[in-house]
């Protein structure tokens, strides 16, 4: 495929993709306009829709962007970068699991009730474009009652989803003789995990938390004990990397029984370890579900739950000074070998441990991951934070007034050819906040508000973690640009001198002359000068041109046979004073030869210029 065809192919592909996106959003917009309702627990769906719509339409309406696509080369690299970014930011699989057991009957009987609107909004606000998703209802698989659980309502890609059709199939679980289904949250979780087809999945599990049955080998028939089994599973499963819990109060009186609401578990499941940056991305994704109630952080409690927030630098950014750009601590024009001591003030400490109060904790900072093939680290230096303790930090509270003193690492660049052609080199690592001896207590007032929602008589162990023996880690990326020392200039000058001398030496070898005398059949002599670009033709009275005498760049003498010899184009190295026979056929077809040898001489013939003009080529 040539460059023009490739360009047209990419433009056509992008235009088709944008047309399909426009159709999808038109379809969603028509549904939003048709229903024009939103669950009270959610933020405005139209604002979120417009934000998503703008992101897609930006790519369709920017004419300047498409003018750039006229260049085939730009198109190719743009397509490559978009593909690479999409791969790096792979969307997870989404799995929605809704409790439809008998205890949820009142919510399902409401034709236009809050629960169905809530479920619809939850899916619409969280699913990403072109992602895989599964939607299922669960109770308890029961052969005797004739109940099969879970009930799969959807399994496919988001652009195939028609939410109204899904919600219309939201029905309470019933078996033989209208027997309601029991609840087995662990069985539902296992089923959700079993349908994961990608490396990472986000599971939204919605239930009233009344766990009648505790999977296989539970501790008893008590709903309280079975719910504890579920919480124990959440804590001990190492592949469950993150859990946020959203209590949703929705009081409902049905046939004399009172339902207080339900909870949403936002679960991130992955068999591979997730970095802090990935956990933060999923945390944001879960919190952006639109649920108004604050999420309870269940897992993890030791990564990114107490974060250090440097103040974004507003004043003039100066050389050899640290500044924060909102994501990374940066600095430039630091000198190699210089001992750097920097003070960075106006830092805040924020707690994401909701709903926990930090009674006391010890703080420490250090640097980590300063490794590169471009430099070696002699020492990591020393860093300190002041004040080094905090106390009585409220849930999601923020404490300001912290200062960090940096004694930056001693760095030595490693020598390489690319080193001397660069003015500076980049040092990268992390500023690590270490929070230890953490004493936290649960905000009892908050928990008491929702204790009935959690189907608990007392607060379970998963809500009362002990962090005193653990450390909470949070990292802030740090990037410095350090100028090479004066040795680089000296080395660069020395290298240029060496290159110049090498060029002069090569030119000397190429143009230097060697004076030699050629003997033909020991009775005919020719004395001349040769360099690497000249040659002397060998012709006798009784033969055609037999070839040429040349010298190499390093002064060796050789003879190149002509086409009239028995070995055309053959190159023969000549040794001083040793004759070599060159064979040829004369005009009569008889084989004959000429003996050629050479010796060094001092060429002083006054007619040399005329001779060289006539004979040297």
- Per-residue model confidence as pLDDT tens digits over 424-481: 888 888 888 999 988 888 887 777 776 666 555 555 566 666 677 788 888 888 888 8
pLDDT category at 48 given cuts 50, 70, 90 is very low
- Is residue 574 within 8 A of residue 557, CB to CB? The reply is yes
Residue 43 has pLDDT above 60, yes or no: no
Residue 279 has pLDDT above 70, yes or no: yes
CA dist., res. 485 & res. 488, Å (int): 6
At the top level of CATH, which class does the domain 512-615 belong to? mainly beta
pLDDT at 557: 93
Query: Mean pLDDT across the chain, nearest whole number?
Result: 78
The stretch 271-276 carries a mean pLDDT of: 88
Least confident of 146-150, 219-223, 551-555, 595-599: 219-223
pLDDT category at 111 given cuts 50, 70, 90 is low
Residue 213 has pLDDT above 60, yes or no: yes
Q: Measuring CA to CA, which residue among 269, 300, 287 is closest to residue 462?
A: 300
Please write the tens of the pLDDT for every residue from 238-272: 999 999 999 888 888 777 667 788 899 999 999 99
Residue 385 has pLDDT above 90, yes or no: yes
Residue 590 has pLDDT above 90, yes or no: no
- Is residue 522 within 8 A of residue 540, CB to CB? The reply is no
Q: Measuring CA to CA, which residue among 151, 173, 42, 145 is closest to residue 97?
A: 151
Buried b (16+ CB within 10 A) or exposed e, 49-84: beeebeeeeeebeeeeeeeebeebeebeebbeeeee
Residue 398 has pLDDT above 80, yes or no: yes
pTM of the predicted model as reported, rounded to 2 decimal places = 0.60
The stretch 332-356 carries a mean pLDDT of: 82
pLDDT at 221: 53
By CB neighbour count within 10 A (0-12 exposed, 13-18 middle, 19+ buried), where does 344 fall?
Answer: buried
Alpha-carbon Rg of the chain, whole angstroms?
41
Axis-axis angle for helices 45-61, 3-35 (nearest 10): 160
The stretch 199-224 carries a mean pLDDT of: 73
Q: Percentage of the chain surpassing pLDDT 90?
A: 24
- Is residue 300 within 8 A of residue 267, CB to CB? The reply is no
Highest mean pLDDT among 221-235, 267-281, 345-359: 267-281
Residue 381 has pLDDT above 90, yes or no: no
Residue 422 has pLDDT above 70, yes or no: yes
Cβ neighbours of 277 (radius 10 Å): 10
Residue 501 has pLDDT above 90, yes or no: yes
More confident residue, 133 or 370: 133
More confident residue, 140 or 375: 140
Q: Which residue has the tokens 């690492």?
A: 409
pLDDT at 572: 93
Residue 420 has pLDDT above 80, yes or no: no
pLDDT at 371: 74
Eight-state DSSP code of residue 577: T
CA dist., res. 380 & res. 376, Å (int): 11
pLDDT at 163: 92
pLDDT at 3: 41
Sort strands 329-335 and 472-483 into parallel, antiparallel or unpaired.
Answer: parallel
Indicate the SS3 state at residue 5: helix
What count of residues does the chain have?
Answer: 617
Cβ neighbours of 231 (radius 10 Å): 21
CA dist., res. 25 & res. 200, Å (int): 26
Q: Which residue has the tokens 């940066």?
A: 330
Residue 190 has pLDDT above 90, yes or no: yes
The stretch 476-494 carries a mean pLDDT of: 83
The stretch 109-131 carries a mean pLDDT of: 86
CA dist., res. 524 & res. 515, Å (int): 17
pLDDT at 487: 75
Question: Could you check whether the bond before residue 56 is cis, i.e. omega within 30 degrees of 0?
Answer: no
The stretch 9-16 carries a mean pLDDT of: 42
CA dist., res. 134 & res. 152, Å (int): 8
CA dist., res. 233 & res. 186, Å (int): 8
Buried b (16+ CB within 10 A) or exposed e, 113-139: ebbbbbbbbbbbbbbeeebbbbbbbbb
The stretch 19-41 carries a mean pLDDT of: 44
Q: Measuring CA to CA, which residue among 306, 318, 309, 321 is closest to residue 401?
A: 309
Phi, psi (5° rounding) for residue 267? Answer: -120, 130
Least confident of 199-208, 402-411, 417-426: 417-426
Phi, psi (5° rounding) for residue 361? Answer: -165, 155
User: Which tokens go with 36?
Assistant: 């024009």
Residue 532 has pLDDT above 50, yes or no: yes
DSSP string, 465-528: ---TTS-EEEEEEEEEEEE--THHHHHHHHHHHHHHHHHHHHHHHHH--EEEEEEETTTEEEEE
Please write the tens of the pLDDT for every residue from 545-581: 999 999 998 889 999 999 989 899 999 999 999 999 9
Q: Measuring CA to CA, which residue among 263, 113, 105 is closest to residue 181?
A: 105
CA dist., res. 615 & res. 608, Å (int): 10
More confident residue, 18 or 460: 460
The stretch 591-616 carries a mean pLDDT of: 64
pLDDT at 490: 82
């Amino acid at each position: 495929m040539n460059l023009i065809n490739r360009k047209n192919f990419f433009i056509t592909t992008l235009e088709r993709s944008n047309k399909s996106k426009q159709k999808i959003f038109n379809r969603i917009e028509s549904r939003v306009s048709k229903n024009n309702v939103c669950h009270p627990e959610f933020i405005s769906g139209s604002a979120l829709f417009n934000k998503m719509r703008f992101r897609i339409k930006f790519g369709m309406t920017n004419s300047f962007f498409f003018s750039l696509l006229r260049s085939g080369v730009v198109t190719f690299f743009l397509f490559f970068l978009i593909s690479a970014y999409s791969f790096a930011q792979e969307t997870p699989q989404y799995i929605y699991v809704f409790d439809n057991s008998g205890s949820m009957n009142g919510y399902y009987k409401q034709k236009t009730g809050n629960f169905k609107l809530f479920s619809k909004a939850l899916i619409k606000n969280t699913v990403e474009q072109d992602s895989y998703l599964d939607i299922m209802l669960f109770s308890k698989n029961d052969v005797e009652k004739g109940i099969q659980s879970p009930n799969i309502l959807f399994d496919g890609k988001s652009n195939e989803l028609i939410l109204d059709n899904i919600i219309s199939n939201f029905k309470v679980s019933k078996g033989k003789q209208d027997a309601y289904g029991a609840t087995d949250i662990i069985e539902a979780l296992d089923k959700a995990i079993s349908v994961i087809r990608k490396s990472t999945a986000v599971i939204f599990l919605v239930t009233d938390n009344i766990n009648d049955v505790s999977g296989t080998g539970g501790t008893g028939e008590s709903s309280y004990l079975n719910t504890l089994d579920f919480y124990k599973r959440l804590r001990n499963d190492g592949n469950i990397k993150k859990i946020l819990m959203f209590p949703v109060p929705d009081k409902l009186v049905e046939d004399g029984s009172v339902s207080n609401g339900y909870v949403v578990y936002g679960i991130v499941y992955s068999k591979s370890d997730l970095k802090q940056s990935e956990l933060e991305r999923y945390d944001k994704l879960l919190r952006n579900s639109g649920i108004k109630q604050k999420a309870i952080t269940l897992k993890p409690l030791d990564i990114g739950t107490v974060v250090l927030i440097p103040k974004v630098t507003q004043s003039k950014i100066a050389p050899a000074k640290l500044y924060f750009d909102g994501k990374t601590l940066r600095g430039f024009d630091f000198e190699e070998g210089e001992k750097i001591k920097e003070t960075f003030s106006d830092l805040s400490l924020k707690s994401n441990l909701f709903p926990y109060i930090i009674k006391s904790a010890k703080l420490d900072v250090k640097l980590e991951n300063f490794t590169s093939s471009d430099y070696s680290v002699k020492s990591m230096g020393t860093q300190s934070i002041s004040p080094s303790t905090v106390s009585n930090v409220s849930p999601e509270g923020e404490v300001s007034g912290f200062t960090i003193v940096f004694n930056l690492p001693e760095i030595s660049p490693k020598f390489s050819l690319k080193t001397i052609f660069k003015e500076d080199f980049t040092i990268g690592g992390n500023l690590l906040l270490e929070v230890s001896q953490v004493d936290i207590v649960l905000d009892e007032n908050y928990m008491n508000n929702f204790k009935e929602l959690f189907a608990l008589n007392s607060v379970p162990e998963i809500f009362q973690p002990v962090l005193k023996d653990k450390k909470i880690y949070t990292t802030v990326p740090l990037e410095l640009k350090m100028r090479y020392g004066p040795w680089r200039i000296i080395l660069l000058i020395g290298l240029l001198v060496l290159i110049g001398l090498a060029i002069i030496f090569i030119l000397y070898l190429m143009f230097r002359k060697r004076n030699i005398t050629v003997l033909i059949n020991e009775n005919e002599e020719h004395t001349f000068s040769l360099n690497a670009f000249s040659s002397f033709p060998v012709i006798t009275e009784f033969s055609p041109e037999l070839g040429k005498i040349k010298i190499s760049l390093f002064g060796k003498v050789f003879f190149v046979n002509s086409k009239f010899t028995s070995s055309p184009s053959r190159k023969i190295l000549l040794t001083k004073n040793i004759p070599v026979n060159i064979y040829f056929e004369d005009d009569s077809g008889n084989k004959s030869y000429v003996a050629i040898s050479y010796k060094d001489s001092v060429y002083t013939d006054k007619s040399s210029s005329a001779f060289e003009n006539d004979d040297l080529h």
